[in-house]
Structure 1
Amino acid sequence: MTTKKPERLLRMKPVLERTGPSRSGLYRRMEEGTFPKSIKISERCVAWRESEIVKWEKRKPPRRADTGTTL
């Protein structure tokens, strides 16, 4: 029998570091449907499923390292 690993959850700071937009930009993209929705993990805490962030990273064009803009 194979044991499935639980889904890893990422908090705000690591998501922002990996994806690039500002906090407000991230929420705007969530409203537009162009970024994965967060899940509420406590009264004042949200997180994102790492698998959904990985899928999103594969869909978007790469960022330029020096400016943060897309190529």
Structure 2
Amino acid sequence: MYTEKTELKIIRKPEVLALFGLSNASLYRQITANIFPPAFSLGCRATGWYEHEVKQVIAARGAGKTDEEVKTLVSELVAARKSAV
């Protein structure tokens, strides 16, 4: 979750793919299945992810969380984006 102490670092798709070890197609399948946070717009033709969100999903996977638990985490992360401002 985002807190005031969380450093907001935006990462782009190549770094997300490298961190998560997924192919481009697998990344988008997981986004469609709501088990990975979607990218957000950075401008006209650029998108990115918050690094802390990606790392939380990786940690959840590493901890053996089920897809349903990861879906809950992702929905909480995306909801927290709205209250981060």
Quickly name the TM-score band, shorter chain normalised. 0.7 to 0.9
Unaligned runs of 5+ residues in structure 2 are 64-85
Q: TM-score, normalised by structure 1?
A: 0.73
Which residue number in structure 1 is paired with residue 34 of structure 2?
Answer: 33
Highest RCO, 1 vs 2 (Cα 8 Å, sep ≥ 6) = 2
Unaligned runs of 5+ residues in structure 1 are 63-71
**What's the CA shift string for 1:2-27, capped at 9, x where partnerless?**
x8675100001110000011111101
Q: Larger % of helix: which?
A: 2
4+ residue stretches of structure 1 with deviation over 6 A?
none
Q: Larger % of strand: which?
A: 1
Q: TM-score, normalised by structure 2?
A: 0.62
Aligned residues: CA RMSD: 2.1
